[in-house]
């Protein structure tokens, strides 16, 4: 089996080339080319004739020939991560899909590759760059202290990152404003009457986790609740089991919090497990909010801070644009509005999606359980801080 088989029907029959179209339309190659790339140079009558020939032959310009001539492949590269066994958080696949759409909008293709480790990853970037297979790269999941951006600058390969390293390396980056997300959660919970709010986050060193709790604390401080929530801040790897373990610590205290914020939906699911084994009903006895708004959050009716992944993908493509071959397609919009932005970077505000797990107030509590409660959910942007001047400062288009 699998001997030759189908698949090479028209190998050798070759696709129509620009020369074939030229002959069919009775013009030269260049005129056909102009119909695509500089229509104003072609007389209307001629253009119609050429377009008819293009249609008839089903002609499409050969990508390899264009790439060779233009010294640009119109391909964006990104590493595809392997799924993590213990995490339910899948922002990566949503980002890949969003990025595929974003690069298509500027007539580019998306090339994905697997890498075993950061060294293999950098090696692959280098190879893809030197072979001309890829024009620019997108690096996912960059956090403080990551060595890859500096290595990329050394390679000389154009790139942009989702996430930022800090202030030392200046490269193009786009990131979610996690601080604003944390603040939105705090505002939401405080408005619902919670005063003792627990936090279960990523280990020290994750600046994403730190920013989330910083935003949270900022609002609590503003309401004079920082003291009441003192000592309710625990950390662990992003796994369900850790969420459960750490939540147990919080819930078994003599003065347990009435609300818990988890740095991810994965951790939040663990919190829900721990609460359940203690007979607590999420949404009634304990408010719970996660981050990322993965399918998991929807399924378990958990409130969650939704990342603007699609906007991130568009902004990254937009950031790369100046280094790419002249975009013939219209420049796509990136994000609606924006607060003042740092150089080289772009911060996008996430959105809190409120579901049954945190919808009730501490006074009049919800009567039904979280899992059977209705699906009605409200959303609220975290960008209350956006000044009226924001639109004039943001990216045009």
Partner DNA sequence: GGCCTCAATTTGATCGTTCAAATTGATACC
Partner DNA sequence: GGTATCAATTTGAACGATCAAATTGAGGCC
Q: Which residues bind DNA (CB under 7 A)?
A: 14-15, 17-19, 26-31, 33-34, 36-38, 40-43, 45-46, 59-62, 65-66, 68-71
Token couple for 91: 């922002």
Q: Locate 368 and state its tokens.
A: 């039904």
Is 133 or 333 the residue whose CB approaches DNA more closely? Answer: 133
Nearest-approach distance from CB 136 to DNA, in angstroms: 18
Binds 156, which of its own copies, DNA, none (CB < 5 to 8 A, cut-off by type)?
its own copies
In the bound complex, what is the minimum distance in angstroms from residue 329's beta carbon to DNA? 14
* Smallest distance from DNA to CB 160, Å: 25
Distance in angstroms (rounded) separating the CA atoms of residues 14 and 296: 48
For residues 286 and 277, give the distance between their C-alpha atoms in angstroms, rounded to a whole number: 13
d(CA 229, CA 369): 26
Closest CB to DNA among residues 26, 118: 26
Residue with Cβ nearer its own copies (67 or 280): 67
Nearer to its own copies, 142 or 269 (CB): 269
Helix ranges (H only) for the chain are 18-25, 29-37, 44-57, 63-70, 91-105, 118-130, 148-155, 178-191, 207-222, 240-251, 265-277, 295-299, 309-320, 390-393
Nearest distance in Å: CB 29, DNA:
4
C-alpha distance from residue 56 to each of 17, 27, 42, 391 (Å): 12, 15, 19, 47
Which of DNA, its own copies, none has residue 80 at its interface (CB below 5 to 8 Å by kind)? its own copies
CB of 6 to DNA, least distance (A): 22
- Answer with the entry of its own copies, DNA, none that 187 interacts with (C-beta below 5 to 8 A by kind): none
DSSP per residue over 329-396, as a string? SPPPP--S------TTEEEE--EEEE-TTT-S-SSS---S-TTTS----EEEESGGG--TTHHHHS--
Rank residues 87 and 214 by Cβ distance to its own copies and give the closer one.
Answer: 87
- The item of its own copies, DNA, none sharing an interface with residue 85, based on CB under 5 to 8 Å by kind, is its own copies
For the bound state, the minimum distance from the C-beta of residue 282 to DNA, rounded and expressed in Å, comes to 58
Could you identify the residue written with the tokens 């760059």? 129
Helices 18-25, 29-37: axis angle to 10 degrees equals 100
Q: Which residues, 6 or more positions from 135, have their beta carbon under 8 angstroms from its beta carbon?
A: 72, 73, 74, 75, 76, 108, 158, 323, 324, 325
Nearer to DNA, 68 or 114 (CB): 68
Task: Identify what 52 binds: its own copies, DNA, none; CB under 5 to 8 Å per kind.
Answer: none
The binder of 356, among DNA, its own copies, none, by C-beta within 5 to 8 A per type, is: none
The partner in contact with residue 42, picked from its own copies, DNA, none with C-beta cut-offs of 5 to 8 angstroms by kind, is DNA
Distance between CA atoms of 278 and 116, rounded to whole angstroms?
A: 41
Distance (Å, rounded) from C-alpha 246 to C-alpha 238? 11
**Six-digit token pair at 268?**
């939040």
How would you label 369-384 residue by residue, b for 16+ Cβ within 10 Å and e otherwise? Answer: ebeebeeeeeeeebbe
Query: At its nearest, how many Å lie between its own copies and the CB of residue 329?
Result: 15
Taking the complex as a whole, the smallest distance from the CB of residue 43 to DNA amounts, in Å, to: 4
User: Which one of DNA, its own copies, none interacts with residue 43, CB within 5 to 8 A by kind?
Assistant: DNA
- If the CB atoms of residues 69 and 396 are measured against DNA, the closer one turns out to be 69
Q: How far is the CB of 87 from DNA (least distance, A)?
A: 41
Of 178, 192, 195, 282, nearest to 230 (Cα)?
195
Q: Which is nearer to its own copies, 40 or 85 (CB)?
A: 85
Residue 29 contact among DNA, its own copies, none, beta carbon within 5 to 8 Å by kind = DNA
Q: Which is nearer to its own copies, 186 or 320 (CB)?
A: 320
């Amino acid at each position: 089996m699998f001997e030759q088989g189908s698949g090479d029907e028209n190998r050798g029959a070759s696709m129509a080339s620009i020369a074939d179209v030229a002959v069919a339309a009775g013009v030269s190659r260049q005129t056909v080319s102009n119909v695509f790339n500089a229509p104003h140079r072609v007389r209307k009558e001629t253009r119609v004739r050429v377009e008819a020939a293009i249609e008839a032959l089903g002609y499409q310009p050969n990508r390899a020939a264009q790439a060779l001539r233009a010294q640009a492949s119109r391909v964006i590269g990104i590493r595809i991560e392997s799924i993590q066994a213990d995490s339910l958080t899948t922002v990566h696949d949503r980002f890949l899909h969003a990025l595929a759409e974003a690069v298509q909008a500027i007539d580019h293709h998306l090339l994905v590759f697997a890498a075993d480790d950061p060294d293999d990853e950098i090696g692959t970037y280098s190879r893809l760059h030197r072979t001309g297979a890829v024009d620019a790269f997108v690096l996912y999941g960059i956090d403080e202290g990551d060595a890859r951006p500096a290595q990329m600058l050394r390679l000389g390969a154009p790139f942009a990152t989702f996430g930022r390293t800090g202030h030392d390396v200046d490269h193009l980056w786009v990131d979610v404003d996690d601080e604003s997300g944390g603040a939105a959660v705090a505002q939401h919970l405080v408005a619902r009457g919670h005063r003792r709010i627990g936090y279960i986050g990523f280990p020290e060193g994750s600046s994403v986790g730190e920013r989330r709790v910083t935003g949270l604390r900022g609002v609590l401080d503003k309401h004079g609740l920082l003291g009441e929530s003192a000592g309710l801040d625990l950390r662990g790897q992003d796994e369900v089991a850790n969420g459960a373990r750490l939540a147990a610590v919080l819930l078994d205290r003599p003065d347990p919090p009435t609300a818990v914020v988890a740095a991810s939906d994965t951790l939040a699911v663990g919190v829900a497990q721990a609460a359940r084994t203690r007979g607590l009903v999420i949404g009634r006895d304990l408010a719970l909010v996660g981050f990322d708004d993965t399918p998991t959050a929807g399924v378990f009716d958990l409130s969650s801070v939704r990342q603007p992944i699609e906007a991130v993908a568009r902004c990254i493509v937009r950031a790369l644009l100046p280094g790419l071959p002249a975009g013939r397609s219209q420049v796509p919009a990136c994000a609606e509005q924006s607060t003042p932005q740092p150089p080289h970077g772009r911060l996008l505000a996430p959105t809190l999606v409120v579901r049954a797990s945190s919808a009730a107030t501490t006074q009049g509590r919800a009567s039904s359980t979280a899992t059977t409660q209705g699906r009605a959910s409200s959303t609220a942007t975290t960008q209350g801080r956006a000044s009226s001047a924001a639109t004039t400062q943001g990216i045009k288009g």
